[in-house]
Amino acid sequence: MIAADGRVLMISGPARGLGRALAERLRGEGYRLSLGGRDAAAIGDLVGQWGSGPDVSVHRFDATDGDSARTWVADTMGEHGRIDGLINNAGLLEGFGLDDYDEAAFDAMWQINVKAPTLLTHLALPHLRAAGDGRVVNIASASGKRVKGGFSPGYAMTKHAVMALTHATRQHGWADGIRAVAVCPSFIATEMIAHVDTGEEPVIEPADLAELIRTWLALPGSASVAELIVNCRLEDAL
């Protein structure tokens, strides 16, 4: 197993939802965190509640602004001196279908769900190689594995692309000890699905996913899991 102590993780979108649960769980484990998001005040409030010191840094990251990604990675190296892991968590769900296609919304999902994580992976890769056992966690979705009913086909397309990014990262980084995983949950209890009819059964709690990802991060390179599919609903083939 890989001990958390001293390892530096970058997490995008940590102010709320799954990103917040991840930040809380992984900080408790002993990782040093570099948190990147749009709402620096909200992230600052979170960090303030922890009473944190130099083991947590807060950065402006807007997935629609490539320069903010470059600055975040450079400043993380400046402040922590290393990057051991990248968690691409920030994401966007837009609900249009093929009958009511919305090109602007589709572009926004591609930018936030696919292009930004790809740029961050590119920028972090040399540092993850230098770390020797770098880790990349991409929060994809069950919508990265299948298309279900009329549920946001554009979102499913972007999340399928996240699967490809994850496997490309494994191919590029394996020889240097880098491992990557695509996390593919069904519904998670966050604001993202506040307006989605999820039915009667309970949905996944962010803290449960954070615990799963904590376990994945501790696994050695010789026990690498490429995809984590997490169900709260019975699926035909997942």
Ligand X SMILES: NC(=O)c1ccc[n+]([C@@H]2O[C@H](COP(=O)([O-])OP(=O)(O)OC[C@H]3O[C@@H](n4cnc5c(N)ncnc54)[C@H](OP(=O)(O)O)[C@@H]3O)[C@@H](O)[C@H]2O)c1
Contacts with ligand X by CB under 6 A lie at 13, 15-19, 37-39, 61-64, 89-93, 112, 139, 141, 185, 187-188, 190-193
Q: What gap in Å lies between CA 118 and CA 112, rounded to an integer?
A: 10
Minimum CB distance to ligand X smaller for 129 or for 216 = 216
Minimum CB distance to ligand X smaller for 125 or for 232 = 232
DSSP-assigned beta bridge partners for residue 12: 36
Residues in contact with 154: Cβ distance below 8 Å, sequence separation at least 6, in sequence order = 94, 96, 102, 105, 106, 109
CB of 29 to ligand X, least distance (A): 19
For 59, the enclosing helix (H) or strand (E) is strand 56-60
Q: What gap in Å lies between CA 165 and CA 171, rounded to an integer?
A: 10
3-class DSSP state for residue 146?
coil
Judge whether 57 and 31 are in contact, CB under 8 Å: no
Residues in contact with 142: Cβ distance below 8 Å, sequence separation at least 6, in sequence order = 148, 184, 185, 186, 229, 230, 231, 235, 238
CB of 230 to ligand X, least distance (A): 9
- The alpha carbon torsion through 11, 238, 189, 97 (nearest 10 deg) reads 90
Q: How many CA atoms lie within 13 A of 8 on its CB side?
A: 23
Judge whether 207 and 17 are in contact, CB under 8 Å: no
CB of 131 to ligand X, least distance (A): 24
155 is catalytic: yes
Judge whether 204 and 144 are in contact, CB under 8 Å: no
Q: What gap in Å lies between CA 22 and CA 11, rounded to an integer?
A: 8
CB of 176 to ligand X, least distance (A): 26
Minimum CB distance to ligand X smaller for 136 or for 139 = 139
- Catalytic position from the list 155, 161, 183, 217: 155
CB of 222 to ligand X, least distance (A): 28
Minimum CB distance to ligand X smaller for 129 or for 233 = 233
Mind telling me the catalytic residues?
A: 155
